[in-house]
Structure 1
Amino acid sequence: MARPRVTPLLLGSAASVLAAVVIFVINSRAQLTPVLWGWLPAVLGTALSTLAAWRTAAADGLEDSTRRLWRSIALVAAFVVIGLGSDAHQGIRDPARDVQREHDPLATIAYSLAMVVLLWALLRIPLGARRQRERTVRFVLDALTVSITAGIFAWYFTADVRAADNYGSATVPMLLLATLGLIGGLALIKVATSGLAGLDLVTVRWLAAAAIVGAAGGAGFPMLVHVHPGISGAQMFVPATMFCVTLAADRQRRAVTAPRAPRRRRPFSMVPYAAVGSTDCLLLVVAHASGPAVTAVAVAAVALTALVAFRQFAALSENARLLRRVDAGREQLRHQATHDGLTGLANRALFERATREALAAMPADGDALCLALIDLDDFKAINDRLGHAVGDALLVEVGRRLESCVRDGDVVARLGGDEFGLLLHGLRRQESDEVLSRITEALNRPVHALGYDLLTGASVGLAQTWPGAAPQELLRRADLAMYAAKERGKGRHAIYDAQLEHDRTADAQLGAELRRALDGGEFSLVYQPIVRLPDGEWTGLETLVRWHPPGRDPVSPATFVPVAERTGLIVPLGDWIMRSALRQAAAWTEQFGAAVPHEIGVNVSARQLREPGFAGDVRAALTETGFDPERLVVEVTETAVFDGGAAQDTLNELVSLGVRVALDDFGTGHSSLGLLRTVPTDTLKVDKSFVDGIGSGSEEAVIATAMIQITDGLHLKAIAEGVETAEQAQTLHRMGYRFAQGYHFARPLSAEQITRHLAEAPATMPV
């Protein structure tokens, strides 16, 4: 809370109040000091208040509506200075004239303009079109209530004044100023209870007190207290009024940087009840002087009024209670609309809004702003295998860990599913790696969720702002970096740069060409034989895909297959490969019978294994072609099934169909030996890198020997890949290998070449 501090303006204003009271008391019976002395404290105090209001209007941190209000208050104080100067001039020129009850035209106009400017400034405060209309209607009704009440009191008392002193029309400007003053005070109280942003509540109360004291006290005092000509109640009440204004200005300047406590709005206005109660009291006073009969009627009327007021008060209180419940429900709905119901974090809508606001508020040379997107690896497998309750508990814990990794002011959001977002303020590029490493490390630690210890990683992508950055483009770049992190392996992070954009553009262009090629039939299949050692009999065929764009050189699978993986086109392409290979193998079987190699191998990517319904598609292809499932070998890499999850579940479904599984490129992946216990494998295909250097005494020879011992012990079939020389084939046979493939036996052959070979010779190719 902003505490008042002694300043020259406050000291001067307080001194003017003290001097005004002292001079007024000295001159209350007779004019003992010069007339000018009585007006100086009021003029000086008002001038100080004008300066205080103008300084407050120029203070930093004020909202535009509040700044405009304080400029208007400074103008109000300036009009009061003019009115006081006119009253002082009138008193000096004609000391016998009663400035207590009469003002010259200039003073009356100045005081009236002061109140009109104040009311106009208050009515200009923006509260929204609908609220502005409602507030104006309520204010007008309350103002009429105050006016009628003030008018009836003024009429009653001025009737006595006229009868006793015959002041005639001198009371009219007094009545006008008193009513305007009460209405001004009422308007300020309305502003206080409406909760105007930027205007401190204590400040408004001081201003309301100033309006009521100044106008009602200064104008109503002559109607109640009779003093000699030459002295005016304004000489005492104006300094007190302006002291309140100076206090309000000081409070407003200090409250700009102080936190404001939430305001509780009053459910209804007390003004009508106060006005009715005051008028009832006056009615009883008048009735008492008129006799018992009138008094009885007045008492009954007052009692009925009190009962009606109490009944309405009770109804309004109940309405207020209901409105509080509605407000609480509205606040809850507002929170639900901007926050995730499971984790309590910001949701996508709030995250995008916070991003827009942060970009709009960020100066051109200000601190950096980074946006990170986080996607959990293999979260779907946890949901599928352990249930959604465990998955939800995991998401909650991930949200907590992310909050622990960021600073105050950063935004953590759950964007949907297992995707999270971070808005990081003041993070420079050189600090990015450290922050991302801390996040990935926190997410890679085991998570305890509903009795399960889960090991889950996350792929994180980060993008940094640039001049003129747009929120959607920043999100797109972070998303691009996140998918780049996924492609590099799970549990990694990536930062957006121009190379990613170039790769993305190239991928998009090549992806479009792939789509056209698939629709246009530009792909073809070739088959590389798998042979038995040492006689070279064909025991199987591995299916390989080739792309020959019309009018262009062939595109290597090493180029287009990764792009197909990243763009998702590997799914339709893989489905075409599977169906085409099975149709061709079924045709060969029908034509050549037992001479056809027993097994047909088809490579399947990790993306295909994670695709829902992949096993069903394979079943449909087997049914459509009539091919024996036990002759189909699905070849997968270690990386595709390393983390288990959906990929391993798909393999289990395929095995249940009778399909056999081969681990391709064995020995180059993450944890080969561990996979042999979890993946339903029939065959290991030893990678070419171990065959190339298989000469006597080499490390590759030791590894190749160990692998054949493992496969023999586990009763698995081992196939050596990439055999290019007779010496390699002979060495592998001596080690214990009975199956191999490579250019030494045959290069990949087209379907026509395979057909001619099957037609011309037995299914053997000598070593």
Structure 2
Amino acid sequence: MSEPENAGGVARPRPGGLAPVFVSAGAILVVLAWLLVRGDDELFFGYVGGPIAMAAGAYACLRIARVRLPRPVHRFWRRMTLVGVFLLVAALVAMLRANNDTGMSLQVAVPTLAGLGLLMFTFLALPGRQKTPVALLRAVLDGLTVAVASALIFWYVVFDLAPEGTSLAARLVAAVVGVGGVLLLVIVGKAAAAPDTAVDGTALRVLTAAPVACVVTTILMIAGDDRSRMALSVLVLPIVGAALAVSAYLQRRALDQPAGQPVPASNRSLFNLLPFAAVAATAGLVISVSAQDMSGRQRTVIIGALLIAGCVVARQLLSLRENTLALRGIRRQQDELERLALSDNLTGLPNRARFTVALAERIEDDQPAAALLIDVDDFKMINDTLGPAAGDQLLFQVAQRLRAQCTAGEMPVRLGGDEFAVLLPTDDPAAAEAAAGRALQALADPFTVGEQHLLVHASAGIAIAETGATADEVLRNADIAMYAAKEAGKASWARFEPRMRQDMVNHAMLAGELRAGIARGELRLLYQPIYDLVTGRLHGAEALVRWQHPERGFVSPADFIPVAERTGLIVPLGAWVLREACAQLARWHATYGDRTVESVNVNVAVRQLREVGFVDEVAAVLSETGLRPRNLIIEVTESSVVDGWQVRETLRALHEMGVPLALDDFGTGQSSLSLLRAFPVDVLKLDKSFVDGIAEGADRGRLAVAAAVAQLAEHLQLKAVAEGIENQEQLNRLRDMGYRYGQGFFMSRPVPADDYAALMAADPVRA
């Protein structure tokens, strides 16, 4: 049965994860109690604690090995499970032969050495920072130094202290196990002291108990008295089993901790000094032996040689200290450079590079992952209105809120500009959607920037990392989903679906065809008549662009206008509409003279208004066509007006030029009345949704809004135009309310230029 997962997709330990720790600790207590009350013929019961504790340790390692982990960590704990199995076998053999053997028998030594050897290999196989040939040679030399020194010490000191009657085989087994334990202590200790180990560092430090217990036990088994030998022989395997259980528990607990920054290397580990300690111990041993077996002159030569060796060692220690200080400074600089390269200076969050690396690592290790991409809606307007400094303050506060709402395992980042992301350690769509809702809710409360209180919303896209996907693909999918959320109305989230990519491909293809269509002249203009509702005569015309594709046929503006706005093609498209509409009005003036309508209405997108040369472009078109500024009415939406200072300056310049400005779809925005004070408007165009509601039995609220707009226009001396008139009853009511002008299918659908010319030449339409 697999481990349960938390909301982030990271395996969470089941309740009862401390059970192996309690079992192994209980086994140690039982052995200690037995040592206090034991009898001479009860050795079997003293060794019972070993198999119990080792079984608990092996089981704890097995459970953590079955959790979904990065590959190096998974391999480590899988091998540690085998270590526990070998030592469990040694414990069982020791228990069964407790009343037959004294010391360490060959039957116990074989599985013990196998377990220690596998433990040594497991720690050597851990991924580390240094894998160069020089580093490996240095490690081999350190190991040989420690091995030779410990072997000499065992041979000349420990063996001399062994009780009489100890067999040579027992001494050799003890020596091999003891030397192996010392070597293992060096390997395990250095791995535990490393700052960048893949396995939890605290868990590795606990595992140093195993080689320490092995060395101490071996020494006491040979050189200790009967009581100490008995105590250590029955306690060593329970202690090792408890170390395995505790380290596995610490690794399991680390799964619930948020990923932090790596701890900088201190280089103060005592294990780095073991080779020098081995040299010193060997020197002392040589002096001791030479004092007994050699003449005075020989002893003098040996002591002198050892003094020279001591000076060399001291010199090496000083060099080691200097190198340590230099490396510490270099590593501090490397850490700072890495921090600068992988973090955002403004917010302190990780940046795009760090996000991509972390996401790629999770995908490579077969861990669940999802990307949550967040974009602040209308940030450009805030930045343009309040200035870049206020914009930076807002982005910093957004980062702080995203950081605060993230749970364990989630990593918030700033990708750039007003784009943020959160790396989610989950592949559960429901969990990812909950994280998206949590993030957007955190940004829903007003922000305080200087003296301004800003209500900011954001749009988010979710992408789950599927099998075989790359980090770039996941991020791209999240970006596609985020744009889908914006198109759906902003302030919401959307989860990526494959059809979204196809929609993007279709949009891209449509954009390419639109660009070619503009160049090939596939676009044409229709003109919807605007009538005087009192006299019934033509008053003006609204130019509407249409696209007759050679293969697709008629393409609806609802399909290609959003594509044009997203890709920037709205600028050349709008320029063509402006020029063609003005040129057509000039031709009508030349043909029909005074019977020609005075003006033509042209819709202008916000992207066009942001163009620096748009005002000059309008002036050039009017000059080329011979029209006066009042002959052109620029229609803009309420959202365009509030886009930023650049748009407002463009509109003011057009108004000062004498070009009338019409506010299209009036009444549908959130700040319509306030716009009338700041915006140089000349025409209000009542949105069709309100016209639909003024017939008999219709919505009284919309009826009231329609009447209020007419009164407001009259009070402000603005021209009011009603859009979307579809029947006589609507026309009559609008006229009674005070609307002088209107357009809609009831009077006329949009028509080609020639048909519109025929309407001008015909008798006036009677209302």
State the one-letter code of the partner of 1:127. L
Give distance in 1, aligned partners of 2:281 and 2:506: 84
1:311 aligns with 2:322: no
Query: Quick check: 2:350–2:414 contact (8 Å CA) kept in 1?
Result: yes
Query: Quick check: 2:24–2:242 contact (8 Å CA) kept in 1?
Result: no
Query: Quick check: 1:691–1:723 contact (8 Å CA) kept in 2?
Result: yes
Aligned to 1:385: 385
Aligned to 1:228: none
Decide whether aligned partners of structure 1 residues 175 and 548 sit closer, same or farther in structure 2, where only a CA change above 3 A counts: closer
1:56 aligns with 2:60: no
Residue correspondence of structure 1 range 233-252 to structure 2 within 5 A: 237=229, 240-241=232-233, 243-252=235-244
Query: Quick check: 1:381–1:646 contact (8 Å CA) kept in 2?
Result: no
* SS of structure 1 residue aligned to 2:245: helix
State the one-letter code of the partner of 1:191. V
Kindly, what percent of the aligned residue pairs are identical? 35
State the one-letter code of the partner of 2:312. V
Give distance in 1, aligned partners of 2:488 and 2:556: 21
Decide whether aligned partners of structure 1 residues 590 and 332 sit closer, same or farther in structure 2, where only a CA change above 3 A counts: farther
Give distance in 1, aligned partners of 2:159 and 2:377: 89
Give distance in 1, aligned partners of 2:217 and 2:353: 51
Decide whether aligned partners of structure 1 residues 592 and 124 sit closer, same or farther in structure 2, where only a CA change above 3 A counts: same
State the one-letter code of the partner of 2:241. A
Query: Quick check: 2:606–2:643 contact (8 Å CA) kept in 1?
Result: no
- Give a deviation string over 1:581-603, Cα, whole Å, max 9, x none: 23444555677777754433211
Decide whether aligned partners of structure 1 residues 209 and 423 sit closer, same or farther in structure 2, where only a CA change above 3 A counts: closer
Residue correspondence of structure 1 range 528-567 to structure 2 within 5 A: 528-530=528-530, 540-550=540-550, 554-557=554-557, 561=561, 565=565
1:68 aligns with 2:79: yes
Give distance in 1, aligned partners of 2:92 and 2:558: 88
- Give a deviation string over 1:123-155, Cα, whole Å, max 9, x none: 343123864967764453234324443565577
Deviation at 1:635? 0.5
Aligned to 1:751: 753
Give distance in 2, aligned partners of 1:381 and 1:361: 42
Give distance in 1, aligned partners of 2:594 and 2:721: 22
State the one-letter code of the partner of 1:192. G
Give distance in 2, aligned partners of 1:158 and 1:677: 99
Residue correspondence of structure 1 range 95-114 to structure 2 within 5 A: 111=109, 114=112
Query: Quick check: 1:188–1:204 contact (8 Å CA) kept in 2?
Result: no
Give distance in 2, aligned partners of 1:675 and 1:621: 28
State the one-letter code of the partner of 2:443. L
- Give a deviation string over 1:190-245, Cα, whole Å, max 9, x none: 212212626834543332223323444445x3xxx9xxxxxxx7996376155223
State the one-letter code of the partner of 2:213. A
Decide whether aligned partners of structure 1 residues 574 and 643 sit closer, same or farther in structure 2, where only a CA change above 3 A counts: closer
Aligned to 1:185: 182
2:346 to 323, 342, 347: 342
Aligned to 1:194: 191
Residue correspondence of structure 1 range 90-239 to structure 2 within 5 A: 111=109, 114-115=112-113, 118-119=116-117, 121-125=119-123, 126-128=125-127, 131=131, 137-150=137-150, 174=171, 177-178=174-175, 181-195=178-192, 197=199, 200-201=203-204, 203-219=206-222, 221=223, 237=229
Decide whether aligned partners of structure 1 residues 460 and 604 sit closer, same or farther in structure 2, where only a CA change above 3 A counts: same
Decide whether aligned partners of structure 1 residues 210 and 524 sit closer, same or farther in structure 2, where only a CA change above 3 A counts: same
Aligned to 2:70: none
State the one-letter code of the partner of 2:127. G
> Is the deviation greater in 423-432 or in 537-546?
423-432
Give distance in 2, aligned partners of 1:61 and 1:9: 21
Query: Quick check: 2:351–2:413 contact (8 Å CA) kept in 1?
Result: yes
State the one-letter code of the partner of 1:342. L
Deviation at 1:652? 3.9
Residue correspondence of structure 1 range 468-617 to structure 2 within 5 A: 479=479, 482-493=482-493, 514=514, 517-518=517-518, 520-530=520-530, 540-550=540-550, 554-557=554-557, 561=561, 565=565, 570-586=570-586, 597-606=597-606, 608-609=608-609
Deviation at 1:417? 2.3
Aligned to 1:449: 449
Query: Quick check: 1:633–1:660 contact (8 Å CA) kept in 2?
Result: yes
Aligned to 1:323: 327
Query: Quick check: 1:210–1:242 contact (8 Å CA) kept in 2?
Result: no
Query: Quick check: 1:338–1:350 contact (8 Å CA) kept in 2?
Result: yes
Give distance in 2, aligned partners of 1:651 and 1:208: 80
5+ residue gaps in structure 2? 1-16, 66-73, 258-262
Decide whether aligned partners of structure 1 residues 473 and 613 sit closer, same or farther in structure 2, where only a CA change above 3 A counts: farther
Decide whether aligned partners of structure 1 residues 202 and 458 sit closer, same or farther in structure 2, where only a CA change above 3 A counts: closer
State the one-letter code of the partner of 2:348. G
Give distance in 1, aligned partners of 2:690 and 2:206: 83
Decide whether aligned partners of structure 1 residues 424 and 309 sit closer, same or farther in structure 2, where only a CA change above 3 A counts: closer
Deviation at 1:714? 2.8
Residue correspondence of structure 1 range 653-668 to structure 2 within 5 A: 654-655=654-655, 659-668=659-668
Give distance in 2, aligned partners of 1:625 and 1:562: 29
> Is the deviation greater in 643-652 or in 303-312?
643-652
- Give a deviation string over 1:11-31, Cα, whole Å, max 9, x none: 5644776799x97xxxxxxxx
Decide whether aligned partners of structure 1 residues 478 and 705 sit closer, same or farther in structure 2, where only a CA change above 3 A counts: same
Decide whether aligned partners of structure 1 residues 520 and 44 sit closer, same or farther in structure 2, where only a CA change above 3 A counts: farther
1:281 aligns with 2:284: yes
Decide whether aligned partners of structure 1 residues 674 and 75 sit closer, same or farther in structure 2, where only a CA change above 3 A counts: closer
Decide whether aligned partners of structure 1 residues 312 and 667 sit closer, same or farther in structure 2, where only a CA change above 3 A counts: same
Deviation at 1:513? 6.3
* SS of structure 2 residue aligned to 1:118: helix
Aligned to 1:30: none
State the one-letter code of the partner of 1:71. L
Decide whether aligned partners of structure 1 residues 153 and 656 sit closer, same or farther in structure 2, where only a CA change above 3 A counts: same
Query: Quick check: 1:53–1:70 contact (8 Å CA) kept in 2?
Result: no
Give distance in 1, aligned partners of 2:109 and 2:697: 111
Deviation at 1:420? 3.1
Residue correspondence of structure 1 range 251-270 to structure 2 within 5 A: 251-258=243-250, 259=253, 266-267=268-269, 269-270=272-273
Give distance in 2, aligned partners of 1:696 and 1:240: 100
Give distance in 2, aligned partners of 1:203 and 1:357: 27
- Give a deviation string over 1:622-666, Cα, whole Å, max 9, x none: 677676555432111234435656654553454466543211233
* SS of structure 2 residue aligned to 1:456: coil
Deviation at 1:395? 1.4
> Is the deviation greater in 132-141 or in 246-255?
132-141
Give distance in 2, aligned partners of 1:697 and 1:14: 93
For the pair shown, the structure with the greater C-alpha radius of gyration is 1
Deviation at 1:525? 0.8
Deviation at 1:58? 3.1
- Give a deviation string over 1:449-483, Cα, whole Å, max 9, x none: 23433232223455789999998787666555543
Aligned to 1:717: 719
Aligned to 2:5: none
TM-score (norm 2): 0.73
Q: How many residues matched?
A: 715
* SS of structure 2 residue aligned to 1:257: helix
- Give a deviation string over 1:480-501, Cα, whole Å, max 9, x none: 5543443343434556789979
* SS of structure 2 residue aligned to 1:680: coil
TM-score (norm 1): 0.73
